Amino acid sequence: MLSVRDLVKVYPGPVTALQGVQLDLSPGMFGLLGPNGAGKSTFMRILAGLLEPTSGSVTLDGADIIAHPEMVRAKLGYLPQEFGFYPHLTGEQMLLHLLRLKGVTAQGGIDSLARELLDRVNLSFAAKRRVKGYSGGMRQRLGIAQAIAGDPRLVIVDEPTAGLDPEERLRFYHLLAELAENRIVVLSTHIVEDVAVLCPQFAVIRSGRLIARTTPRAAREAIAGAIFEGTVQPADLPELRRVRHVTQAILVEGRHRVRVYAPAGDPPAGFEPATPTLEDAYLVLMRTEGLEAGNGARSTGVPLAGDRAGAHS
């Protein structure tokens, strides 16, 4: 069990990156979804015991990560957003280097552990190749190999799918899903699809606050009957955006296929009811909750635990 209480981080400037985050997580995959600058990496670094918060607490199975990071670090695996590699090393050499840095030991020796880990992330075939020839997905898998050394209880992965092509992303999804079978995995992302594919539970973070904690299904159900789709001429889109809550506008054959959120059930003329997607739900949450947060409605930033996005247990 991971427990986060009243977490605040103020950087010199001052920049308030986290404004009082509360979160309780049990094993499984948890998504932290939010735009650039929302505070995701700050949160992840604090969870990893690498950055000291201004105030608040983080405990993993009762052990205090902030007061005693060195005691808890063996139970943590972390894949940072910017992961540095030595391009001239082979994948195997790089992994061995990282394992030594981390202070990992293994009964059968560290070399056989490295081979096991490479096998686990499907990189055995490239063990002797230089990292500089690795694709983005292969690098991320190598990053996961070091993160899971020592079988950590908590794995923290910060925007791991950014920059992966669709096929690599899919492979990486499978690997992450496996990891979450018996441990807590916290995945941060700005990509809604990551959450839709992987996360039975997620929170939306904006301006250093968790503005919702919910499930993909509950988030979609909360806006059922309120999403409508229609086609408009490009020239009419700005006006529609001004008077309506547009959740999506994509160009199809030179015209805009547009989705709007109309909770009162009064769509623009010619618009038809549409099944809500998680993307719709995210954009609605970001707008409506974000406005309240901007007004200072919740000075403590207490997460809403799904009360906005629909009931779930």
Question: Interface with ligand ADP by CB under 6 A: which residues?
Answer: 11, 13, 15, 17, 34, 36-42
Closest-by-Cβ residue to Mg ion is: 41
Residue 17 or 232 with smaller CB distance to Mg ion: 17
Length of the chain: 313
59: buried, middle or exposed (CB in 10 Å: 19+, 13-18, 0-12)? middle
Question: Segment 154-193, which members bind Mg ion (CB under 5 A)?
Answer: none
DSSP for 89-154, written as a single string: SBHHHHHHHHHHHHT---TT-HHHHHHHHHHHTT-GGGTTSBGGG--HHHHHHHHHHHHTTT--SE
- Per partner kind, with CB cut-offs from 5 to 8 A, the member of Mg ion, ligand ADP, none near residue 213 is none
Strand 15-25's sheet: what is its strand order?
15-25, 2-11, 55-60, 63-64
Could you say which of 41, 146, 201, 214 contacts Mg ion (CB under 5 A)?
41
- Per partner kind, with CB cut-offs from 5 to 8 A, the member of Mg ion, ligand ADP, none near residue 37 is ligand ADP
Residue 42 or 215 with smaller CB distance to ligand ADP: 42
Residue 158 or 168 with smaller CB distance to ligand ADP: 158
Q: Reduced to 3 states, what is the DSSP secondary structure of residue 300?
A: coil
Residue 38 or 95 with smaller CB distance to ligand ADP: 38
Task: Return the bridge partners of 64, or none.
Answer: 59
DSSP for 258-286, written as a single string: EEEE-TTS-PPTT-EE----HHHHHHHHH
Cβ–Cβ under 8 Å, residues 182 and 266: no
From 27-35, 37-45, 88-96, 117-125, span contacting Mg ion (CB under 5 A):
37-45
Q: In angstroms, what is the minimal distance from the CB of 88 to ligand ADP?
A: 29
The closest alpha carbon to 52, from 66, 41, 35, belongs to 66
d(CA 267, CA 160): 38
Q: Please tell me the count of residues contacting Mg ion according to CB under 5 A.
A: 3
Q: In angstroms, what is the minimal distance from the CB of 203 to Mg ion?
A: 15
Question: Segment 70-89, which members bind Mg ion (CB under 5 A)?
Answer: 81
Q: In angstroms, what is the minimal distance from the CB of 181 to ligand ADP?
A: 27
Residue 39 or 303 with smaller CB distance to Mg ion: 39
- Per partner kind, with CB cut-offs from 5 to 8 A, the member of ligand ADP, Mg ion, none near residue 39 is ligand ADP
Residue 4 or 284 with smaller CB distance to Mg ion: 4
Q: In angstroms, what is the minimal distance from the CB of 253 to ligand ADP?
A: 35
On the CB side of 119, CA atoms within 13 Å amount to 6
**Binding site residues, Mg ion, CB under 5 A:** 40-41, 81
